[in-house]
């Protein structure tokens, strides 16, 4: 990021980590050196990146409130993981909300404006300057789409009222947050940020001595990222342990073929769930189910789609995934689908389902090490951040990849937002 003469213009600035799953905001001001994480929803410093458009109201609900409205089966449209749409063709296509064609700018925009407003309420001031987090790649292997995603996000922040907008890679921000508590010794660190939508990595020289340093370009050895994250882990767990209960793998038609897989894959993919609720999709699915051999199972699938319970099912899957970080076995209550229905998942099943995703994540980390021109044993410190780094098999792989390194896991869900505000101070304020 270029440091220029914007510093004297601002008394206050913020960092916003707009995440696929959770969003945080932190503020820095010119009066003191503290960084404050903003309570963005009640006392919570994280807000789920969700929105609920109520059918009978022009205003929207955000975060846990949106989730509760959806789970409470209020009339309206629930959306999550909208960060994943940036840079994709869906940005142009938009989606239908309450019968009206709506662009994603009109979905992400109010969410960003909502968290900006929370920061301004706390600061009791307008905040015009922001450092926004971004993944290393919004979209894999497509530089044009990546640039488009950043520019779309920039317009959205601008529309929300920010006048100065800069971007920083999310793992670099997490490194800055960690650096605040470091001593003067220089460490070669890798940051591993495994979030809901992407896994991002940075290799960087860190030291408490560098906090005041304005230009960190020379300290950053490599960045790499891949569009795999917790949403993908939810998908593989859903396909392994939940979808078989809804008929995946059962037989279909007179010739004894397998029931087509598409509805199960759609139901396991957050961004596809809403597409299953059109009249045509429901009609086609009902026709498929007529020829199903095991109707006890496939009628559950029909019920979930008819009653639009896809996001509730994904919430159960996500809960199971999170439980498996601290338990070998977990039981999900699916009585909202059928009385007494449960899904039992083991950590082994989950880890097996992750195989392909983990292989891609390891390849990306190895590419990052290669790009840095070092070998893995030169890394002295691994900083883990992002919810996905709580998964035991990911921690085990980290120890295998970097056997010599100290492993630090700070505040998984808020270190990026905190670090973005450190950057905002460096960039916009005089008090660094
Ligand atoms: N204890 C846990 N075990 C496993 N996964 C977890 C745990 N806690 C949270 N997660 C998962 O971490 C993900 C959210 O992490 P995080 O808040 O870091 O993502 P994000 O910053 O919103 O996403 P991104 O940075 O990719 O845009 C979700 O998929 C969530 O289910
Ligand atoms: Mg994140």
Q: Would you say the CB of residue 128 lies under 6 angstroms from ligand 1?
A: no
Nearest CA to ligand 1 atom 19: 195
Spatial CB neighbours of 203, under 8 Å, sequence gap ≥ 6: 188, 189, 190, 191, 220, 221, 222, 223, 368, 369, 371, 372, 374, 379
DSSP string, 219-259: GEEEEEEES--HHHHHHHHIIIIIGGGGTTT-EETTTTEEP
Q: Would you say the CB of residue 81 lies under 6 angstroms from ligand 1?
A: no
Residue 57 is predicted with a pLDDT of: 85
Residue 271 is predicted with a pLDDT of: 86
Nearest CA to ligand 1 atom 17: 22
Residue 158 is predicted with a pLDDT of: 98
How many CB atoms sit inside 10 A of residue 215's CB?
10
Q: Tell me which ligand sits closest to the C-alpha of residue 394.
A: 1
Q: Would you say the CB of residue 199 lies under 6 angstroms from ligand 1?
A: no
Q: Would you say the CB of residue 22 lies under 6 angstroms from ligand 1?
A: yes
Q: Would you say the CB of residue 153 lies under 6 angstroms from ligand 1?
A: no
Q: Would you say the CB of residue 318 lies under 6 angstroms from ligand 1?
A: yes
Could you tell me the distance, in angstroms and rounded to a whole number, from the CA of residue 81 to the centre of ligand 1? 11
Could you tell me the distance, in angstroms and rounded to a whole number, from the CA of residue 391 to the centre of ligand 1? 10
Could you tell me the distance, in angstroms and rounded to a whole number, from the CA of residue 195 to the centre of ligand 1? 5
Per-residue pLDDT of the chain (432 residues; tens, 9 = 90+): 445 556 667 899 999 999 999 999 999 998 888 999 999 999 999 999 999 999 988 889 999 999 999 988 899 999 999 999 999 999 999 988 888 899 999 999 999 999 999 999 999 999 999 999 999 999 999 999 999 999 999 999 999 999 999 999 999 999 999 999 999 999 999 999 999 999 999 999 999 999 988 889 999 999 999 999 999 999 999 999 999 999 999 999 999 999 999 999 999 999 899 889 999 999 999 999 999 999 999 999 999 999 999 999 999 999 999 999 999 999 999 999 999 999 999 999 999 999 999 999 999 999 999 999 999 999 999 999 999 999 999 999 999 999 999 999 878 999 999 999 999 999 999 865
Could you tell me the distance, in angstroms and rounded to a whole number, from the CA of residue 157 to the centre of ligand 1? 23
Dist CA 309 CA 409 (whole Å): 35
Cα-only R_g, the chain: 22
Could you tell me the distance, in angstroms and rounded to a whole number, from the CA of residue 385 to the centre of ligand 1? 9
* Residue ranges per structural domain of the chain: 7-182+411-428, 231-353
Mutate to test the pocket of ligand 1, among 229, 270, 347 (most ligand atoms within 8 A of CB): 229
- The DSSP call for residue 183 is -
Cα–Cα distances (Å) from 196 to 83, 346, 347, in that order, read 10, 21, 19
Place of tokens 């082994």: 348
Q: Would you say the CB of residue 417 lies under 6 angstroms from ligand 1?
A: no
Could you tell me the distance, in angstroms and rounded to a whole number, from the CA of residue 146 to the centre of ligand 1? 22
Nearest CA to ligand 1 atom 21: 19
Q: Which residues have beta carbons under 5 A from ligand 2 (an ion)? A: 19, 195
Dist CA 409 CA 400 (whole Å): 16
Could you tell me the distance, in angstroms and rounded to a whole number, from the CA of residue 178 to the centre of ligand 2? 15
Dist CA 6 CA 3 (whole Å): 8
Dist CA 379 CA 405 (whole Å): 6
Helix (H, G, I), strand (E, B) or coil at 53: strand
How does pLDDT run across 217-249, given as a tens digit for each residue? 999 999 999 999 999 999 999 999 999 999 999
Q: Would you say the CB of residue 229 lies under 6 angstroms from ligand 1?
A: yes
Does the global pTM surpass 0.85?
Answer: yes
Could you tell me the distance, in angstroms and rounded to a whole number, from the CA of residue 219 to the centre of ligand 1? 27
Spatial CB neighbours of 259, under 8 Å, sequence gap ≥ 6: 247, 248, 249, 250, 251, 252, 288, 292, 298
Residue 6 is predicted with a pLDDT of: 62
Q: Would you say the CB of residue 310 lies under 6 angstroms from ligand 1?
A: no
Mutate to test the pocket of ligand 1, among 83, 192, 270, 386 (most ligand atoms within 8 A of CB): 386
Spatial CB neighbours of 343, under 8 Å, sequence gap ≥ 6: 241, 242, 245, 316, 320, 331, 332, 334
Residue 131 is predicted with a pLDDT of: 98
Spatial CB neighbours of 172, under 8 Å, sequence gap ≥ 6: 191, 202, 204, 216, 220, 223, 419, 423
Could you tell me the distance, in angstroms and rounded to a whole number, from the CA of residue 423 to the centre of ligand 1? 23
Dist CA 140 CA 202 (whole Å): 16
Nearest CA to ligand 1 atom 11: 387
Q: Which two tokens stand for residue 148?
A: 């488009």
Among the atoms of ligand 1, which is closest to the Cα of residue 387?
A: 12
Overall fold of domain 7-182+411-428? Nucleotidyltransferase; domain 5 (3.30.420)
> Which of 287, 290, 311, 293 is closest to 74 using CA atoms?
311
Contact 405, 381 (CB under 8 A): yes
């Amino acid at each position: 990021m270029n440091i220029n003469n914007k510093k004297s213009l601002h008394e206050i600035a913020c960092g916003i980590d707009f995440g696929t799953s959770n969003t945080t905001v932190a503020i820095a001001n010119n009066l003191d050196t503290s960084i404050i994480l903003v309570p963005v929803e009640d006392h919570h410093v994280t807000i789920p990146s969700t929105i609920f458009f109520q059918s009978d109201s022009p205003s929207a609900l955000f975060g846990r409130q949106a989730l509760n409205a959806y789970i409470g089966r209020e009339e309206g449209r629930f959306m999550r993981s909208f960060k994943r749409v940036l840079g994709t063709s869906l940005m142009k296509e938009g989606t239908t909300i309450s019968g009206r064609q709506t662009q994603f700018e009109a979905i992400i925009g109010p969410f960003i404006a909502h968290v900006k407003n929370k920061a301004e309420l706390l600061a009791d001031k307008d905040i015009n300057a922001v450092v926004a987090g971004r993944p290393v790649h919004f979209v894999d292997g497509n530089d044009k789409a990546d640039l488009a995603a950043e520019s779309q996000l920039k317009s959205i922040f601008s529309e929300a009222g920010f006048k100065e907008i800069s971007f920083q890679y999310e793992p670099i921000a997490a490194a800055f947050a960690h650096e605040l508590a470091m001593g003067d010794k220089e460490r070669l660190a890798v940051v591993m940020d495994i979030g809901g939508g992407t896994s991002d990595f940075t290799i960087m020289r860190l030291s408490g001595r560098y906090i005041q340093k304005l230009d960190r370009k020379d300290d950053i050895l490599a960045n790499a990222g891949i569009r795999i994250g917790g949403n993908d882990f939810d998908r593989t767990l859903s396909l392994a342990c939940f979808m078989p209960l809804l008929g995946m793998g059962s037989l279909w038609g007179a010739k004894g073929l397998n029931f087509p897989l598409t509805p199960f894959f759609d139901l396991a993919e957050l961004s596809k769930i809403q597409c299953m609720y059109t009249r045509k999709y429901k009609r086609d699915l009902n026709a498929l189910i007529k020829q199903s051999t095991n109707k006890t199972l496939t009628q559950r699938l029909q019920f979930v789609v008819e009653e639009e319970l896809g996001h509730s099912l994904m919430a159960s899957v996500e809960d199971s995934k999170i439980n498996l970080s601290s338990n070998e076995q977990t039981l999900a209550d699916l009585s909202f689908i059928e009385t007494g229905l449960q899904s039992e998942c083991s950590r082994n099943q989950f880890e097996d389902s992750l195989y392909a995703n983990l292989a891609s994540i390891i390849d990306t980390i190895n590419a990052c090490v290669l790009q840095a021109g070092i070998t893995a044993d030169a890394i002295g410190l691994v900083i883990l951040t992002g919810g996905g780094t709580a998964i035991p098999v990911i921690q085990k792989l980290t120890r295998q990849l970097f056997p010599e390194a100290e492993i630090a896991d700070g505040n998984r869900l808020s270190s990026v937002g905190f670090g973005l505000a450190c950057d905002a101070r460096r960039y916009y304020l005089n008090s660094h």
